Amino acid sequence: MGAPFDIGYVFSFLPKLLETLGVTLLIVAGSLLTGLVAGFLVALPRMYKIPVLRTLSGIYLSFFRGTPILIQLFLFYYGLPEILKLVGLDLTRAPVMFFVILTYGLHTGAYAAEMIRASVEAVDRGQVEAAYAAGMTPYQAFSRIVLPQALAIAVPVFSNLVIALLKDTSLAFTLGVMEMTGKAQTLGALTQHFIETYIALAFIYLIISFTLERLLAAAERRLTRHEIRERSGSAGRFKLKRRGSYRSVWNSLAEADAGKGGGI
Amino acid sequence: MIQLSKISKSFGRNPVLRDISLNVGTGEVVVILGASGSGKTTLLRCINYLEKPGSGEIAVGDLRVDCSRARRSDILRLRRKTAMVFQQYNLFRHKTALENVMEALLVVKKLPLAEARRRSVELLEKVGLGAKLDAYPSRLSGGQQQRVGIARALALEPEVILFDEPTSALDPELVGEVLEVIRAIAKEGITMIVVTHEMGFARDVANRVVFMDGGLIVEEGTPDEVFQRPREERTKQFLRRITPEANYSI
Ligand SMILES: Nc1ncnc2c1ncn2[C@@H]1O[C@H](COP(=O)(O)OP(=O)(O)OP(=O)(O)O)[C@@H](O)[C@H]1O
Ligand SMILES: [Mg+2]
């Protein structure tokens, strides 16, 4: 199948694929924004143990983490308009992009919710008590003491989440969105140089992932400059030494409830 | 002046404080002793509402709070009249020593930056950390961290400082430097309630020693009275257990 391999095509495909980079990045950015908002809304009832809402967030999390993203895309694109028709809302004319960003956004929201909850809970309770004891309000304690540290803790998880999202957007072509993977399919079909398009495509994803990872790693280093760093041998790269209060986020995912003490 | 009247607190069905009443005069240093689980920490934490007392009344200075109907604003005011030094230091880990001390001055007392800074530097120098202003807690020894904790408490100019076992998380060789600082500020007439197992310190510094057991104040008196002539059997047992024989017989 296809034409004989010709490396020249890889180079000529690169700029053509990059024309659709904007679409891919739009999906990523739109979904991240939606996802962070959704994640926050879902994390709150779980952190504050609000009865009914907490169960609802649990269902939301199970659905979006327990089913394939492809199925979610189909369900939202084909299913949502049908359901909304019943209540008199017509979505059949809404752009595909709307469904794509909504689905990826809600999908990302499930992971963001866990990221937010785990990061906030990883800041040790003692510091919050110290803030309260000094007379700070809950809002002051959160914004000045918890938030800056939770952000730093969240960055590595956030980094994984963004990169996973970037790669997942390659499935949007199944709904006919002309993002990078969709474009690659078209180019391949047109020229019969499938392998070359996929090499070019993989290369672009790789470069973006790598850049994002580096940027976020730099952000993490900046946000955690108060923690002790050790030079790790020959690599000469800095490694974060986890200390008492900085329990790993994954540990605290397990110990869901460490809350002790009053507050207001 | 601190007045606790009939403070009670239960965790679930487990009563931890039973009608505790305690008065602490201005400038007085009260040391609370008692076995593990006797409710010492809980009592301190009730005073600044880190635990919500079940019932009773707390008076600090001119503020009176009836625990059965305390409002948020009462709790906030109570906390602004008290300060606490924690066993685990609980420094803000993303802030330097100086920023730790300045934080509440800026956020709670709303002092101008220069004023907050001047006062914080002064206090850190006083606890012997003038050279560590810009160090993050992760770079400080336990003893240094706890001295920052003390400076942070002093900065608020509270009516009372509550110390919950300020030296028991420290390596033995670091205990001395922290006790020395606490001793020095006690001499300045700052009102303190101190939970500690450091008997030597209690004897030297306390104006009054309170012995708790099972959520009750079993005995209180001057260090001499409590250490040399304990009246209650439970106090005697406790002192026998924690004081080496030789010391006790002195
Ligand atoms: N958050 C809590 N939930 C339930 N029970 C608690 C809680 N905090 C303390 N307790 C219980 O209350 C009792 C008194 O605890 P507290 O910490 O006040 O004792 P303590 O005198 O400070 O002991 P130690 O010398 O070990 O610090 C203990 O039986 C403890 O198990
Ligand atoms: Mg205790």
Across the range B5-19, mean pLDDT stands at 93
pLDDT in tens, A128-162: 999 999 999 999 999 999 999 999 999 999 999 99
How high is the pLDDT of residue A229?
65
Least-confidence region, from A132-136, A243-247, B36-40, B188-192: A243-247
CB contacts under 8 A, A 15-54 vs B, are none
- How much is the average pLDDT of A30-57? 92
Chain B CB within 8 Å of residue A1 CB: no
Please indicate, yes or no, whether the overall pTM of this predicted structure exceeds 0.95. Answer: no
**A132 interfacial to chain B (CB closer than 8 Å):** yes
Instruction: Report the pLDDT value the prediction gives residue B245, as an integer from 0 to 100.
Output: 54
- Gap from CA of A133 to ligand 1 centroid (Å): 19
User: What is the 3-class SS of chain A, one letter each residue?
Assistant: CCCCCCHHHHHHHHHHHHCCHHHHHHHHHHHHHHHHHHHHHHHHHHHCCCHHHHHHHHHHHHHHHHCCHHHHHHHHHHHHHHHHHHCCCCCCCCCHHHHHHHHHHHHHHHHHHHHHHHHHHHCCHHHHHHHHHCCCCHHHHHHHHHHHHHHHHHHHHHHHHHHHHHHHHHHHHHHCCCCHHHHHHHHHHHHCCHHHHHHHHHHHHHHHHHHHHHHHHHHHHHHCCCCCEEEEHHHCEEEECCCCCCCCHHHHHHCCCCCCCCCC
pLDDT at B89 over 70: yes
- Facing A261 at nearest CB: one of B50, B76, B94: B50
For the stretch A85-105, pLDDT in tens is 888 888 888 899 999 999 999
Predicted-complex ipTM score:
0.93
What pLDDT is recorded for position B135? 95
- B244 falls in which pLDDT band (50, 70, 90)? low
